[in-house]
Amino acid sequence: MTGIATPDAPETRREQHEGQKWALSDPSSVRRLAVLRALKLGDLLLAVPALQALRRRFAQAEITLISLPWASEFAARYHEYVDRFVEFAGYPGIREAENAPLDEMERFLAEQRAYEYDLVIQMHGSGHVSNLCAMAFDGRETAGYYDEHGAGRALSPYATPRLTYAEPYPYDEPEVMRNLGLARMLGCDNLDPTLEFPLMEADHAEAQMLLGVSAADDRPMVGIHAGASIPARRWPVERFAALADHLAQEWNARIVLTGGPDEIAIAQEVARHMETAGQTPLLVAGKTSLGGLAALLACHSSIMPSDILQYAYSSLLALCQAH
């Protein structure tokens, strides 16, 4: 038998009581807690308030984040909430790592089972497949959402296999509140939805290096990110350029074009389409670390006129209507 759990053959060391609601674990009994969230940057940032709440509730527990390889940097930055990082090696049906070799998946699952988590939290969507993955870690208890209208309803707390703590997936809530809902399910209080991004000295140093001689420039700075993971959702570069021109002309704003290494060409194309005379945008796409970009955007937040935001929004609406 392989190490890949299926709905018909769940692997778990939990005791199950059909049709009975589970009592909340004593927080002091949770020594090892795992959070499964193998998603991208924005998704992990929206989980930070929930990680804060979990840390307060399970203060003595070792909290492990199981996520995509890139997230090791995220875990290090949020070391106050995350003690340990494990690279997600994939699971059948989870698209974020769907091409992982089967033997690597099996080895990964075997390692998680051997670690003997006391509590595994599935924070990876509605649970259609991710609940099966979380349960395959063989934690003493598991928590997560399930889709009461789809195939995931088989993973409700009144079905077998099932989660220890479960609620229907709240499709009508913002992502931050969904994640906090999981924390609330486990008895967490003080569910503050405020987001945070801690900056380090190295981040500020990187930002100053990127700004160079323009670091002392006190003009308002506007960052434009023209990339998108799904091309169909991406606005045409000509419209980004038109918006940048509007802001540069009306507010004498400095335009900063951001993006990841695979978005350099898009940022360069936006720059080529800009027509504002004497306005050369600062092109940092592909040149920043996550922390460096955050520090760069924070450099001039204190001098950004509040009404420029309204103007940018109005300009964006006008451009949308024109096209």
For residue 290, what pLDDT band results from cuts at 50, 70 and 90? Answer: confident
Q: What stretches of 25-97 adopt beta strand conformation (E)?
A: 32-36, 62-67, 84-87
Mean pLDDT of the chain: 83
What is the per-residue pLDDT for 182?
A: 97
- pLDDT tens digit string along 213-234? 666 677 888 888 888 777 777 8
For range 14-35, the mean pLDDT: 66
Structure tokens at 104: 């690597």
193: helix, coil or strand? coil
Name the residue type at position 72: S
Winning range, highest mean pLDDT, from 175-179, 234-238, 302-306: 175-179
Three-state secondary structure of 250-312? HHCCEEEEECCHHHHHHHHHHHHHCCCCCCCCEECCCCCCHHHHHHHHHCCHHHCCHHHHHHH
- Whole-angstrom distance, CA of residue 295 vs CA of residue 215: 12
| Least confident segment among 103-117, 176-190, 271-285 | 271-285
| CATH architecture of the region 201-322 | 3-Layer(aba) Sandwich (3.40)
| Least confident segment among 6-20, 22-36, 214-228 | 6-20
Winning range, highest mean pLDDT, from 54-58, 222-226, 262-266: 54-58
Task: Give yes or no on whether 27-185 and 201-322 have one common fold.
Answer: yes
What is the per-residue pLDDT for 33?
A: 98
90: helix, coil or strand? coil
pTM of the model: 0.78
What is the per-residue pLDDT for 266?
A: 93
What is the per-residue pLDDT for 323?
A: 52
41: helix, coil or strand? helix
The superfamily in CATH containing domain 27-185 is Glycogen Phosphorylase B; (3.40.50.2000)
- Whole-angstrom distance, CA of residue 194 vs CA of residue 18: 38
Nearest to 21 by CA among 181, 162, 125: 162
- pLDDT tens digit string along 153-187? 555 554 545 899 999 999 999 999 999 999 999 99
User: What b-and-e string marks burial along 25-38, b requiring 16 or more CB atoms within 10 Å of the CB?
Assistant: bebeebebbbbbbb
What is the per-residue pLDDT for 155?
A: 58
What is the per-residue pLDDT for 215?
A: 60
What is the per-residue pLDDT for 132?
A: 93
Residue 174 CB contacts under 8 Å (≥ 6 apart), including other chains: none
Q: What stretches of the chain adopt beta strand conformation (E)?
A: 32-36, 62-67, 84-87, 119-122, 141-146, 165-168, 221-225, 254-258, 282-283
- Sequence spans of domains, the chain: 27-185, 201-322
Q: Are 138 and 54 within 8 A, CB to CB?
A: no
What is the per-residue pLDDT for 37?
A: 98
For residue 316, what pLDDT band results from cuts at 50, 70 and 90? Answer: low
| Least confident segment among 168-177, 214-223, 236-245, 255-264 | 214-223
Partners of 168 in beta bridges: 146
Residue 41 CB contacts under 8 Å (≥ 6 apart), including other chains: 70, 74, 290
Residue 88 gets which letter from DSSP? -
| Least confident segment among 30-39, 83-92, 303-312 | 303-312
